[in-house]
Chain A
Amino acid sequence: MQFLAAVGRIFIAFLSHAGRLAVFTAIAVSHCFRPPFYPRLILRQMIDIGYYSLPVVGLTAIFTGMVLVLQSHSGFARFSAEGAVAFVVVLSITRELAPVLAGLMVAGRIGAAMAAEIGTMRVTEQIDALVTLSTNPYKYLIAPRLIAGLLMLPCLVLVGDIIGVFGGYVVATFKLGFNPAGYLRSTWQALEVMDVVSGLVKAGVFGFIISLMGCYNGYHSRGGAQGVGAATTAAVVSSSILILVFNYVITELFFAQ
């Protein structure tokens, strides 16, 4: 009985959380489309998310591309299929690794920062102050972040795609002695528009998730510095998990026949 009650409680808490998140998302998205808009704030968020995440995403992508070549080369050598290396690299980077790894890195960088900033604004009553100054916090704080996340992650991932493939190319030609022109040709042949597009769609969804979870957890934080800390952790953990879940869902939508 005790056990059932505990399970029930957790289930109810989960439902009420999911419900609150759904309502929050609906309100926030509706404010993205209704004036007033804040182009200045959207731009600042875009710079924060897009430009300042470039080093992190670039480094992640280049090392991923490099290691991918080493791994697939040594793995495929067993089947004497080294020719497939370029194919594997470009496919894995564009479809999976660039969006997922960029998403996780940005979740750590941006999602945490958003939750901390908005959470601090909540506990220091800055959000209440916004309301009393005739400004809707959904429009002023949340909509710009959602829009910037949605738009900038695909840009980051596109850059990550290029850098990742380039990293693979460097290792393949300089270390493993592939023919540069041949490697590029097989990369180009392997590349299909759908691979890149699916990666960019994932990136857009991940960017939205990162901003949403950062804002949601920050907006509902309470109880001073500790509450803000908890909100930050919750933002990173929940957006990372949601990224992995949605990665599967979107892959299924695109590629499972």
Chain B
Amino acid sequence: MNQIPKSAPAKIELNDLHKSFGPKTVLNGVTLDVARGESVVIIGGSGTGKSVMLKCILGLMRPDRGSIRIDGEETVGMGQRDRERVLRKFGMLFQGAALFDSLPVWENVAFGLIQGQKMKRNEAKERAIEKMAQVGLSADVAALFPSELSGGMQKRVGLARAIATEPEIIFFDEPTTGLDPIMADVINDLIVKCVKDLGATAISITHDMASARKIADRVAMLYKGELIWVGPVSQIDNSGNAYVDQFIHGRAEGPIRMEIRR
């Protein structure tokens, strides 16, 4: 594994993570260190377990084996109270945005402030509208419901919700999938800006190499449950790894065989 040597302790340390669903092995020994303030992008084909990996780190799924340390603290098997405390460090943009469709947009954005930080509703609303402005949403969107928004706007609301509590660690699960290229670039810029502004540690998942190049300090490629290549984004074009080459150039021929048979 080509890890960059670092002096500071890692913000997130994954060690030999395993996760299966019944007979199907999804994660098969994932090891990764993410330094404080670093932005790591995970690439890999659909269904290789990228989302599962993030959910394990968040404690939404329990890994079968392995260790996850956040700020040096082991979180696998953690009790509910400690889990809630650790989760306060996190913000997450879900793959499908996962906005609460029973709440108006501003309450979605303010949710972590009101429920997690017990902020007064009025104050939280102001903060929410501020955060929405940061992702380029005007205040008149605030009263709409998520179902009334376009996909790009939903992603931006999800982004605003993820950064509203100013978390130390932010996860972005396919932030640009399903958006037009221009909107995708807007979202990429927003992610870079938000992460820089907050000084946050970020893990992003994407299929989109343009966004990976824009967001990443380091890139890791997940294939068959393992990280087969980890390296700085500047080396991605000469990784010397046939799998990575095939993926970043999007070729059907190569060592990666798509399982088309059903």
Listed in ascending order, the chain A residues whose CB lies under 8 Å from chain B are 117, 120-121, 124-126, 128-136, 140
Contact = CB atoms under 8 A, between A and B. Distances in A.
Nearest to A44: B102
A124 B88 CA distance: 22
Contacts of A125: 94-96, 98
B254 interface: no
Contacts, number: 52
A124 B158 CA distance: 13
A130 B107 CA distance: 13
B92 A129 contact: yes
- Counting chain B residues whose Cβ lies within 8 A of the other chain, the interface size class is 20 to 34
A27 B21 CA distance: 24
Interface string B43-61: 0000000000001001110
Contacts of B98: 124-126, 128-129
A128 B88 contact: no
Given A126-B101, A140-B115, A132 B96 contact: no
A125 B58 CA distance: 13
A126 B92 CA distance: 12
Contacts of B91: 132
Interface in B51-76: 55, 58-60
A128 B55 contact: yes
Nearest to A41: B102
A135 B161 CA distance: 14
Contacts of B84: 134, 136
Nearest to A135: B115
Given A125-B96, A126-B98, A126-B100, A134 B112 contact: yes
A132 B60 CA distance: 8
A133 B111 contact: yes
Given A131-B87, A132-B87, A126 B99 contact: yes
Contacts of B116: 133-135
Contact of B87 (A120, A121, A126, A134): A134
B81 to A, nearest CB: 11
B115 A128 contact: no
Nearest to B83: A131
A171 to B, nearest CB: 43
B172 interface: no
A80 to B, nearest CB: 59
A134 B94 contact: no
A5 B187 CA distance: 55
List the 10 closest A-B pairs by CB distance, nearest first.
A134-B116, A125-B98, A129-B98, A133-B112, A132-B92, A135-B115, A125-B94, A128-B60, A133-B111, A126-B98
